[in-house]
Chain A
């Protein structure tokens, strides 16, 4: 599947209307909001389509599937270009072996997955932007963003705190760390790397009393956002910044002159091949490497950032993307 998909799913009592934008959407939130009811509607529709009494309309894609515990391997094999719903208690999420096996099966498929779970799966690196809760107004149910990003975590840096930060932590141990080390060289802000998203929480715990600015790849941070968000909620000194990725910042900044970039960033969801790029941050790295590979000066290497990106004027443009 490609692009945004609007779904309308209803019977005579409830009416769900929502839009999916990426290959993985996570739905969590309070108990009793109607997650299982939605799953059951899709499950009923699968049994006897319109005769089930459930109506489903999709703006694109072939079908909606409710993944069941006993036959999910066959279901995934047979399902293409569809929206797949997975309910709480799914056997494929019971333990690490099951999860690893399940992820192997869904990677490289062209379906969109809607996962009802509060659990965080580090093997499913989806976007913090695509985590929702269900809100009800009468019969109408819609998806609303679960994490109110500007409450505790921010897409850009809280500029009011700019001069207070003591430590900057990035998940990147290579180009991103090299870049920010250079950028903060003349300040008192120390730069450290968590060496991956999964270690961010440990780095925060090690520096729990320090005025911290943490930057992570929002496009792949969904497995860690819940505890990180709560850390920010209960510790005002911890500040999280969630751009899509460091490579996205470079693309967005305008330091590479290429007319196609703006279009690519605006309509990534329409362009990205989800069978090749399970999460968007891999796509942004690939795309940045691809459009700079023929230029000696601009060539982007994830292992070692080139001098071009470390020029003062370019660094300023790149960090301005996150409000610094």
Chain B
């Protein structure tokens, strides 16, 4: 299930892009979930562990991916830390729910991400309340952010 702590969270990694630059593992880039993240979020294709083909920027390195893509890759692979996913735009919502399908994931958000019209299951960590749709999430999360 996806767990979200809304607002400032001291123990969260505030700047995931910086953390990614210093901590990412090259092996992560070529696995299926990273390839999917990079395709869906940045519309780019993984060539190998060091090179990604962007339709706008040409050949780039993993460090040149968008903040959202880097944060999602960290969430998928680094199970020790909680990341500030405010760097993730609303096009990351479905992938976040997908990552949280088979394991508990906790993220920090400083805005209320739009998870769409379909039903979902998200725990608002600040209160412990589980919400099932955007209306419930908006009411609960707006108390904290």
Contact residues of A between 27 and 52, Cβ < 8 Å to B: 28-37
A89-B15 contact in complex given A36-B67, A208-B139, C-beta closer than 8 Å = yes
Find chain B residues with CB under 8 A from A96 CB: 8
Binds A, one of B27-35, B74-82, B89-97, B123-131: B89-97
Which size class do A's interface residues fall under? 35 or more
Our count of residue pairs bridging A and B at CB distance below 8 angstroms stands at 95
**Please, which residue of chain A has its CB at the minimum distance from the CB of B114?**
A230
Q: A57 near B: Cβ within 8 Å?
A: no
Find chain A residues with CB under 8 A from B106 CB: none
**Please, which residue of chain B has its CB at the minimum distance from the CB of A229?**
B114
Give Cα A233–Cα B116 distance, bound, in whole angstroms: 10
Contact residues of B between 78 and 115, Cβ < 8 Å to A: 86-92, 110-112, 114
How many B residues have CB within 8 A of the partner chain?
35
A31-B67 contact in complex given A118-B111, A136-B56, A234-B134, C-beta closer than 8 Å = yes
Using an 8 Å CB-CB cutoff, how does the interface string of A184-217 with B read, 1 for contact, 0 for none?
A: 0000000000000000011001001000000000
* Contact B66–A235 (Cβ < 8 Å): no
* Contact B112–A227 (Cβ < 8 Å): yes
Q: B69 near A: Cβ within 8 Å?
A: yes
A31-B69 contact in complex given A13-B57, A88-B86, A231-B138, C-beta closer than 8 Å = yes
Give Cα A31–Cα B58 distance, bound, in whole angstroms: 18
Give Cα A119–Cα B85 distance, bound, in whole angstroms: 11
Using an 8 Å CB-CB cutoff, how does the interface string of A167-187 with B read, 1 for contact, 0 for none?
A: 000000000000000000000
* Contact A89–B87 (Cβ < 8 Å): yes
**Please, which residue of chain B has its CB at the minimum distance from the CB of A136?**
B56
- Which A residues have a C-beta under 8 Å from some C-beta of B? 13-14, 28-37, 88-89, 91, 94-96, 117-120, 136, 139, 201-202, 205, 208, 226-227, 230-231, 233-235
